Amino acid sequence: MTEFLARTRDSYDRAAEDYAEWIAPELAAKPLDRALLTAFAELVRDRGPVADIGCGTGRITAFLHDLGLSVSGIDLSPRMLGVARRSHPELRFTEGSMHTLALPDSALGGILAWYSIIHIPDDLLGAVFTEFHRVLAPDGLLQLAFQEGDGTVHLETAGRHRVSLDFHRRTARDVAESLRGCGFRVLAETVREPDREGAFTEQSRQVYLLAGKGI
């Protein structure tokens, strides 16, 4: 395991229980996020199984399941997965890395990477998108969410926990270009201003890209 992957896994392992408690009501406070996830579910429903990659506590996996998708979760952190399995015992969650997915070619009708590419360094992003492309069916869809910006933000504390997390900020244009270079076609781009009020305030604009393979 590379150094940054080990740091990311260990950081989320330390903070898993507190993070799960903090993030639980977040989706209820984000109506546009729910609408975009619902649209993704409608678009991908008849294309095959869906993987929520970087699923964390499984809250988005469960949301998609409630919308009628055949969906499972994949995450790097064993303790985050422990929370996911405890909270959603009816769903399947697997430990793994988005760099080397333990899935056959063309196995998925859809991939959701909801704020999970944010920890991937720039020089490895293309390899991740190539892996996504490999496991998607010819008509498969990929939905990304990430924070807009430039450079890297390093975090050493999360609540009462010591962590070592890098958050890589990117523009919609740069991520779209990387997707195209890996064989994807960008189908939709949504950018919203940061939420400034409530329990889940944001510092940057939020980007949502929908891409297709072979469309």
The CB density around residue 45, as the number of other CB atoms within 10 Å, is: 16
Q: Length of the chain in residues, anyone? A: 215
> Per-residue DSSP letters for 122-176?
HHHHHHHHHHHHHHEEEEEEEEEEEEB-SSEEEEEEETTEEEEEEEE-B-HHHHH
Question: Is the CB of residue 186 less than 8 Å from the CB of residue 209?
Answer: yes
Instruction: List the chain residues with pLDDT less than 70.
Output: 1, 155, 158, 214-215
For residue 214, the model assigns a pLDDT of 67
For residue 10, the model assigns a pLDDT of 85
For residue 58, the model assigns a pLDDT of 98
Torsion angles phi and psi, residue 194, rounded to 5: -65, 145
**Domain extent listing, the chain:** 3-213
For residue 160, the model assigns a pLDDT of 81
For residue 23, the model assigns a pLDDT of 94
For residue 155, the model assigns a pLDDT of 62
Longest pairwise C-alpha distance within the chain: 46
For residue 164, the model assigns a pLDDT of 83
**CATH class in words for 3-213:** alpha beta
For residue 27, the model assigns a pLDDT of 96
